[in-house]
Each structure stands twice: as structure tokens, then as C-alpha cells.
Amino acid sequence: MITRRQFLARSPLVLAGGMGLASMVDSLRLEGLSADESEADVVVIGGGLGGCSAALAALERGLSVVLTDPSDWIGGQLTSQGVPPDEHRWIETHGANESYRALRSKIRDFYRRHYPLSSTALADPFLNPGKGSVSRLCHEPRVALAVLLESMMPYLGNRQLRMHLNTKPITAAVTQDRVEGIQVQSEDSGQTHWLRAAFFVDATELGDLLPLTKTEFVVGNEGQENTGELHAPRGRDEGNQQAFTCCFAMDHHPGEDHTITRPSAYDYWRNYMPQLTPEWPGRLLDFTYTHPRSGMPKKLGFNPASGPHGGVVNLWTYRRIAEVNQFVAGHYQSDICLVNWPQNDYFDGPLIGVSDAGQASHIARAKGLSASLLYWLQTEAPQFDGGTGFPGLRLRTDIMGTDDGMAKFPYVRESRRIRAKFTVTEADCGKEQRRLETGGAGEALRSARYPDSVGVGSYPIDLHPSTSGDNYIDFETLPFELPLGALIPERVQNLLPANKNIGTTHVTNGCYRLHPVEWGIGEAVGSLVSFCHLKKHLPAEVWAKPELVSEFQRELVGRGVEIRWPRS
């Protein structure tokens, strides 16, 4: 085992003047907006995982791309939202695009090249830097950011890619069924700029381009009577939207006091009793919660020492992104824990269907909830072996790259969704409903097989408490496919979705919204744009012609996209 000093002496990240990786990433400056307009083959609005994947797929096929994001970090839920990847149990070998598994490998390789790993961790082919229980690859957000930027660099250098960060869409030019341009505005300078292209991709977290371009969309719950889904809430309700979360990171230093200033909203959140159906078992700021699958009260544990914790899971290790024993002695003084827990899910109001001021207010209140959770942990949370409070918990503002320590963008679980040529429902992938409707059992029980499949995924339908008072809706699904028809709007010809805004329902959004599926959606969309450029067809024309769908599928498979699950 090498010592930390020996590692630092040879590390390529220790540069003149002491600039390390964090400074290199934070000092990156991309071109600003001019006062007029620019053109590209495709404009991607939103730099989350779907946006990055769509952009890279188009760039690799020779198209010019403009990519924007409202944050100064690309990567979305993996970086600016601070959420380690939620994945299925087969992710290391199959059930995701080759490019997604390459992204995961690059993250591990980054640690191997640039971090002082212990000899055991260095030899582990399935390195999990945080050993978090929620994922096989819990890691620091900046590492994923560095890997994504590295992938983009060659295209930035030759200007095949132009990237505008801290930039949001404000209006659109639309002629009948075609988007002609999107006007964006820099949050830094206030300057506006028109982006024009043959194709536009809405990879925003909330489907922001859909109302701007007058693309037909759905918000909230469609109602069980309309979708026929077993687990759908009854009654159409646009306000029924899943909780979002403002994540943060912390470490722990026993014997020290890092208690933050008491948040102004602390009394409100300390006494907050969720009004949900089925009933939530007490206060939100408590270790007892509603178990998502059973609906029964369950106790969560918490112990930064990673020992006995007295609950169904230790929240400290649940989304831990750095575990001290994975690194040489002295590199970290503590584990680092990412907080995205039931206790800081915000369902006091929606992000869609409210004014800009209303949206900003809900985000500010969600940050207040997360700060209150931290203060409660530091001062009042029960310890497993008696006593209260963990004052040694320290807010790690540097991990999220923000002054307040909260992630740069809320972790959003639900978006506006296009009215698509095809909409995925629970009858396509829900295990119980598939069994009832198909009579399948054993190996014969499978999700719907789509003739136009352009990807695969797997995850339970996992709906968090909603703004209309629904508690968790969580149940088993079958490994599913991604139908091309779910990516094609009913009417608009040259706008495609590449995030949580595809043709799913309120219910099936719950399994199509996670990291590998979002990446797969983006790759399918970027590849489809390139295919349309080459074939001189619109996306809806490709979808409508089986021979074109088959040709497109062969092209995807040739590039490592899985479109079918193995039969067993």
C-alpha cells in the first residue's frame, strides 16, 4: 500500500499552484452568449444524463450540436442533483446500453487513476467508492462531471459542440407543426440568443420546452379510469406530482461541534405531520416512516460509525459516496454521506403548474426542509445507544459546489410528459397486471415486447409521496423495453423528449425515470436525429414504416444498444 504523501507526489492532479481537480472543473469557462443567433444540426436543451447522451450520440455520428443547461454542471441527477445511480441488479453485465456501462467504467477508472485507493479497492473490478447500499457505484458528483466533460472535450475543441451553461429557454418560434428556434437566456449576463436547428431535443428536468413549443403534454395523474392501471390513483389530477428533493452531503467528526444555525423554518418542519394516504406514522423528521412496498411503519437506523443502528437500513451507509477504508489512511477523515432520504422529500407543493415565483418558493422551502433535517440530526435525533443529536455531522458545501451546501438543482422525479404516438402503461410492465391480463407465469410472464423497441430497462415502479396526498406507490415490474413510439410526439415534427418527459403515465414514469433508462432514452433520441438526417425522414415517418424501424434498430444494436432482454 502506498502512503498518501507518496500518492500526492506522483498525482497528475497536483498542478502548479496547487490546482486540483475541483479547481480545474470549477474554472472551466465555456463560450458566452452573443446577442444574435446560431445554428446547429440539433439543439439539446438540458444537460442531464439524457441530454448528454443525446448530444454524444449525435456528435459521434458527425452532427453539430448546441447543448444548454440551467446549471453550471452537466450530468443532471448524477451531478447537479447529487444522486448516485439507481440501477437494477444485472447492471454490471447487461440490461443497459454499452455506452452507459462505459460511463460507469470511466467513473471507476477515474478513481483508479486519480484517487489514493487502498490496495483492496484498487484490485476490485467492481469498485464502489462509497460502498453505499443503494447502488453498486456510489461516488462523488464531481467525478461523474469530470468524466462527462472529458467525453465532450474533443467536440468542444473543434466547435462541433457549443455548450451554454447557466442558460435557460425562455421562448420558442413555431410554424404550424415545426419548431423553428428556441430563444435562451444567460442567467449570468441576462443576454438572450436564438438557437436554430433542424431538430430540437427537450432534455430538461420538467419538460420546459413542451409548453413553449405548444407540444401537447400531460401533467400529474391521468386517473385509473382513463389508463386502466391497477395502481393508478383515481381521478384526473394535474396537481398530483411526486415529491422532489434538495440533496446535500455531510461527514462526521465525533467530539467536534459543527451544528448549523437553527433554520428559520425549523419549528414548522420539526412538527410537520404528513397528511398522506395510507397514513404516515408520525412526524416527517423522525426515523419511523412508511415502508414503500408493504405500507407498514418501519424504523430506519442511523449510525455514522456504521455499527448497530436499530433499523431496517442504516441511513448513513444508504447513499454513502465515500468510505474511508476504500482509500489510503489519512486521505479522508470521515465517510461522506449523501442525504436523499424519506425525511427530506418535499411534497408540500408542485414544481409544474405554478408561477415562476411559486416554483422558486417551493424550492426554497425544500432547501429549508433539508437544512432542518440536518439541524434535527445534529441536535435532536435519537442515538441508537441512548442520547440525542450528532453535533459532529458537518455540512459539506464543497461536495455540491454551492454556498448553501444544497445540490445545484432539485432531484426531480416527475416531469411534463408528451402526448406520444404510444404511451407505456402499467399493463405493459407491471408484474401483477401482466399476470392478470396475459395469464403468464414463470418464464412466460414477461413485459410487453415492442416491435419498435430502442432500449431496455428495469426498476420497480417507485412513486414517492405526492403533492395530492398519495403515500408511496411501490410495486414490482418486469424487465421492460423502450418503445420508439413513446419518443415521438403526436403532432410536433422535429421536437423529441430525452428525459422524464417521454410517453409514460404518472405510474410508469416511476420505473422509466432512473439513470440508465434516461441515458438510454437520450442515446435513442440522438441516434434517431442522426438517422433522420441521413435518411431525410422525420421521426414520425421512421416510426410509421416497419422497414425503417428495423434498419434503425440494426444501427442501434451495432453500436451496443440493447433492445431486447434475454429470455431467461
What's the pLDDT band for 531 if we cut at 50, 70, 90?
very high
For residue 414, which of 331, 328, 493, 513 has the smallest C-alpha distance? Answer: 513
Query: Which residues make Cβ contacts (< 8 Å) with residue 240, sequence separation at least 6?
Result: 220, 221, 233, 466, 467, 468, 470, 506
Are residue 428 and residue 455 in the same domain, yes or no? yes
Evaluate if residue 349 carries a pLDDT over 90: yes
Q: In this predicted model, what pLDDT tens digit does every residue of 116-146 receive, in sequence order?
A: 999 999 999 999 999 999 999 999 999 999 9
Q: What values do phi and psi take at 394, rounded to 5?
A: -120, 125
Alpha-carbon gap, residue 462 to 485, rounded angstroms: 23
Are residue 432 and residue 318 in the same domain, yes or no? no
Evaluate if residue 188 carries a pLDDT over 70: yes
Asked if 305 and 324 count as a contact pair (C-beta separation under 8 A), the reply is: no
Using CA atoms, how far residue 66 sits from 44, 125, 188, 216, 406, in Å, is 6, 36, 18, 24, 28
> Strand 217-218 relative to strand 192-202: parallel, antiparallel, unpaired?
unpaired
Alpha carbons within 13 A on the beta-carbon side of 371: 20
319 in any annotated domain: yes
Q: What integer is the mean pLDDT of 192-217?
A: 98
Domain residue limits at 296: 244-400
395 in any annotated domain: yes
Q: Give the predicted TM-score (pTM) of the model.
A: 0.94
In this prediction, residue 35 carries a pLDDT of 52
What's the pLDDT band for 492 if we cut at 50, 70, 90?
very high
Alpha-carbon gap, residue 170 to 103, rounded angstroms: 32
Are residue 374 and residue 297 in the same domain, yes or no? yes
For residue 343, which of 310, 305, 380 has the smallest C-alpha distance? Answer: 380
Q: In this predicted model, what pLDDT tens digit does every residue of 299-343 receive, in sequence order?
A: 999 999 978 888 999 999 999 999 999 999 999 999 999 999 999
In this prediction, residue 33 carries a pLDDT of 54
185 in any annotated domain: no
Are residue 366 and residue 446 in the same domain, yes or no? no
Instruction: Please identify which residue in the block is written with the cell numbers 444540426.
Output: 41
Are residue 541 and residue 461 in the same domain, yes or no? yes
Are residue 252 and residue 395 in the same domain, yes or no? yes
Q: What integer is the mean pLDDT of 214-227?
A: 98
Q: What angle do CA 133, 139, 140 make, to 5 degrees?
A: 135
Alpha-carbon gap, residue 46 to 49, rounded angstroms: 9
In this prediction, residue 6 carries a pLDDT of 42
Are residue 355 and residue 287 in the same domain, yes or no? yes
Are residue 302 and residue 442 in the same domain, yes or no? no
Query: Which residues make Cβ contacts (< 8 Å) with residue 360, sequence separation at least 6?
Result: none
- What DSSP string runs through 105-122? HHHHHHHHHHS-B-HHHH
What single DSSP character describes residue 450? Answer: P
253 in any annotated domain: yes
**Radius of gyration of the chain measured on its C-alpha atoms:** 23
103 in any annotated domain: no
Are residue 426 and residue 544 in the same domain, yes or no? yes
Are residue 386 and residue 505 in the same domain, yes or no? no
What's the pLDDT band for 21 if we cut at 50, 70, 90?
very low
Evaluate if residue 30 carries a pLDDT over 70: no
Alpha-carbon gap, residue 157 to 525, rounded angstroms: 24
What's the pLDDT band for 12 if we cut at 50, 70, 90?
very low
Q: In this predicted model, what pLDDT tens digit does every residue of 236-289 receive, in sequence order?
A: 999 999 999 999 999 999 999 999 999 999 999 999 999 999 999 999 999 999
Cis peptide before 154 (omega within 30 of 0): no
Asked if 415 and 500 count as a contact pair (C-beta separation under 8 A), the reply is: yes
For residue 331, which of 422, 248, 251, 420 has the smallest C-alpha distance? Answer: 251
406 in any annotated domain: no
97 in any annotated domain: no
Q: How many domains does one find in the chain?
A: 2
Alpha-carbon gap, residue 443 to 446, rounded angstroms: 7
Asked if 335 and 324 count as a contact pair (C-beta separation under 8 A), the reply is: yes
Question: Which residue has better confidence, 13 or 234?
Answer: 234
Are residue 465 and residue 441 in the same domain, yes or no? yes
Q: In this predicted model, what pLDDT tens digit does every residue of 532-561 receive, in sequence order?
A: 999 999 999 999 999 999 999 999 999 999
Q: In this predicted model, what pLDDT tens digit does every residue of 87-104 receive, in sequence order?
A: 999 999 999 999 999 999
Q: How many residues are listed for the chain in this entry?
A: 568
Helix ranges (DSSP H) in 290-430: 315-318, 356-379, 397-400, 426-429
What's the pLDDT band for 441 if we cut at 50, 70, 90?
confident
